[in-house]
Structure 1
């Protein structure tokens, strides 16, 4: 009787805490400070951009082209290489690696550029090529999912204050480069001979 009563109290307390919005730290809160974000990629119909869009939308971020900040998936790369060999000089283990280069922009200003990377190793079975290929394909899907999770964690760190500071720095850098280019052009222009 006591056990069932304490279990019931625990369920009621958990329900009450969950209803008021309480959440343990580190339990995967998907809160983003950004409420809206543009999203583009070189491969606009690829699986990665679809996964990123789903991740953002499920986290409450409105994804649309008119957002003040844009997330650009610049380059996605997948590589495979032999990690170890058998005594017959055949590949025993293969290493898969995946990387994702991304940028955060405001208009034509580059605010942030970074790269995410994942690696996995699997056993290459020469007697079961189909099984090895299926395992490699499954690992590629897992790596893509992990890259998207890494991206989510990086984007969660961006808040309007940090983005405003990044934008101010980028604008100052762009203005300094424009002044330097104008000065270089002025100095290289031929001068009229004196009479």
Structure 2
């Protein structure tokens, strides 16, 4: 009886490990590009991308043959929960970018504009504004890292379609 119950679990584990698209969080695909220019991004997003791309062998500079254009970068903040007195108890941050890869020489758009969004919530205390501000900054840093990771993975997929 235990063999019959273990067989579906074993089969599911084998199927999951065989899936070529699955990877651990933090494992970034490497774009098939030697260098890129990042245009239109905030300084913090640009630094995040540089910190992730350059160790992977992709140089980030102003004269690269390919341009990552950040068409839109938006932050939204809202109250996600209130306490029993009607004061904010939890805040939600949403960070969203729209990007596109462009060939510098021809001006050709190498992929359609793609949108990436990430949302995080954190406890908000109106009685402890300093700690709440620090927490919000940590959440913002996490959102930059998450968006940077996802943008590089999408960039790696887009770069596979470019003929050398």
TM (norm. structure 1) is 0.63
CA contact (8 A) 1:74 1:100 kept: yes
Higher share in helix: 1
**Larger Rg, first or second structure (1 or 2):** 1
Partner Cα distance (1:64, 1:114) in 2: 22
Structure 1 unaligned blocks of 5 or more: 1-24, 165-195
**Structure 1 match to 2:142:** 142
Q: Which runs of 4+ in 1 moved over 4 A?
A: none
| 1:126 aligned counterpart, secondary structure | coil
**Structure 2 match to 1:93:** 90
Greater relative CO, 1 or 2 (CA 8 Å, sep 6+): 2
CA separation of 1:32/1:109 partners in 2, compared to 1, >3 Å: closer, same or farther? closer
Matching of residues 24-173 of structure 1 within 5 Å:
26=23, 28=27, 30-43=29-42, 46-107=43-104, 108-112=107-111, 113-160=113-160, 162-164=161-163
CA contact (8 A) 1:100 1:116 kept: yes
Aligned length: 137
TM (norm. structure 2) is 0.74
- Shift, 1:139, TM fit: 0.4
CA separation of 1:154/1:42 partners in 2, compared to 1, >3 Å: closer, same or farther? closer
| 1:138 aligned counterpart, secondary structure | helix
CA separation of 1:88/1:115 partners in 2, compared to 1, >3 Å: closer, same or farther? same
Partner Cα distance (1:127, 1:141) in 2: 23
